[in-house]
Amino acid sequence: MAPLTSPTQHLLRELAKVFPKDRLLADPAQLSAYASDGLTAFAVTPRAVVVPLDTDEVAAAVRLCAATGTPFTARGSGTSLSGGSVPNADGIVLAMNRMDRIVELCPRTRTAVVQPGVTNLAVSKAAAPHGLYFAPDPSSGIICTVGGNLAFNAGGVHCLKYGMTSNHVLAIRAVLADGSIAELGSASTEGAGPDLPGLFCGSEGLFGVATEATLKLVPVPERFHTVLATYPSVGAAGDAVSAVIASGMLPGALEIMDKLAMQAAEAGVGARYPPGAEAVLIVELEGTAEGVASEAETLADLLRDSGAASLHTAADESERAAIWRGRKCAFSAAGQLSPDFIVQDGVVPRSRLGEALRRIAEVGERHGIAVANVFHAGDGNLHPLIMYDGRVAGALDRAEACAADILRICIEMGGSITGEHGVGLEKRAFLPEMFSADDIDLMRRTRRAFDPGEIANRGKMFPEGEAPALRLYGLHPLEKEGIAHRM
């Protein structure tokens, strides 16, 4: 780490007036835990980490950053898979995990007011006695925080029916980049005026730091009907998704796992899948008992007609939980098959899902890289796991070249470079391939309206100079920005 400059020493002295020693971290050993997030290929050691307990402390820290031009990054549990919470070498991290109170939960209005360090699972557990839950459910829901959900507009396996985080946020209290406190939206479901919470969701920390959110809660469905269908190929499973949607049904979830992803789940949590299956499609119907019973027969016929080799319906809640445990553990379980992997989250039109999966398989073969597929099939949100061994020279380069080709397939098909993981550091180079110069200029001007000095999560989302996010074909210009690459 570079020696402390006088402005940095001054900043730390001022921060020490706000934060006690146990909540102002500056020792290298302490800082190392905050150097990277879920995308461990990129790492930066910050100058310091502060651990605020309330909005006033966040505002005080941000005002000090604004006064000294110091960049800051808000961080929850660090589960970002795009490098979105990787800090700046000359910046500070606001570790928001201690702001983990559920301030208010109102069953009558079906809302909850929470701090950003509260996990998705904690919100749903608190709402459960009232027959309610928080719908966004990323695979990391047991640990990911509401603040991170807001930053990247997370979705999860039930986003087909319930939408993204932005569909479940009524109001946000945020500390903007000058340290001022803003109230965006209102607790009313009949809010008027521009949808500022919707604008804030997915801004990747570039507008400021959320310190409180008013969330919508939804009723727990009366009945679930969860089916695991096997297919002879991933493409066939993808085509089945199109058939289900074309029928007019709106399942709570439509998820696909390929053979490699199934192997990971079997090794990781002991999941069990029918032998010989090349892919499984998980379909979950939910709603009233009568409605689900009516749709269940139609669904079975559709799946058989789509070429399913077998159908298994969860007999009870324990079987349903086992099916979802296998699906939700796939990311972490991939470590059973490969020491390192990159997770992409490009999106393709649902009608072209089968084609996209076949092309991804061809890309993996061309690069000589194993690619496991597990994804939100209902909205075309792909999650290919690109496996490599970082101990082998050039392996990360090949993996990133493979990831780049997959993202370009998504762009060519009229999709997106990200469905919920965000652009972060990883995909900055691809923003100009998806958007025009005018589009990006509008995004920049919107960001600067909130943060003229660009100190809030500096360096994320927008391409800076010639530096690509993925080190395409051996290019390393990110090192100019102080970002280490772990091999």
The 10s digit of each residue's pLDDT in 309-323 is 999 999 999 999 999
The pLDDT confidence band at residue 193, using thresholds 50, 70 and 90, is: confident
The domain locations on the chain are 6-95, 102-219, 223-333, 338-485
In whole angstroms, give the CA distance from residue 379 to residue 351.
Answer: 10
What is the pLDDT at residue 470? 45
Q: Which among 462, 458, 457 is positioned nearest to 435, based on CA atoms?
A: 462
**pTM > 0.85:** yes
pLDDT at 327 over 80: yes
CATH of domain 6-95: 3.30.43.10
**Looking at residue 476, what is its pLDDT?**
39
**Contacts by 155-159, CB closer than 8 A, 24 or more apart:** 155/376, 155/379, 155/381, 155/419, 155/420, 156/376, 156/420, 157/253, 157/255, 157/324, 157/327, 157/328, 157/376, 158/252, 158/253, 158/284, 159/376, 159/378, 159/379, 159/381, 159/420
Please say whether the beta carbons of 314 and 323 come within 8 A.
yes
Cβ atoms of 311 and 229 within 8 Å: the answer is yes
* pLDDT 10s digits, 118-170: 999 999 999 999 999 999 998 888 999 999 999 999 998 889 999 999 999 99
Please indicate whether the domains covering 6-95 and 223-333 agree at the CATH topology level: no
For 353-377, the pLDDT digits (tens) are 888 988 999 999 999 999 999 989 8
| CA–CA gap between residue 419 and residue 256 (Å, rounded) | 16
**Which architecture does CATH list for 223-333?**
2-Layer Sandwich (3.30)
Return the pLDDT at 473: 33
Nearest to residue 124, comparing CAs of 162, 160, 71, 84? 162
* 210-225 per-position pLDDT tens digit: 999 999 999 999 999 9
User: Which residues pair with residue 75 across a beta bridge?
Assistant: 95
Query: Quick check: 474 pLDDT over 60?
Result: no
Q: What's the topology of domain 102-219?
A: 3.30.465
Give dist(CA 402, CA 396) in Å, integer. Answer: 10
Q: Which CATH architecture has domain 338-485?
A: 2-Layer Sandwich (3.30)
Where residue 420 falls among pLDDT bands split at 50, 70, 90? very high
Burial status of residue 365 (CB atoms within 10 A of its CB: 0-12, 13-18, 19 or more): exposed
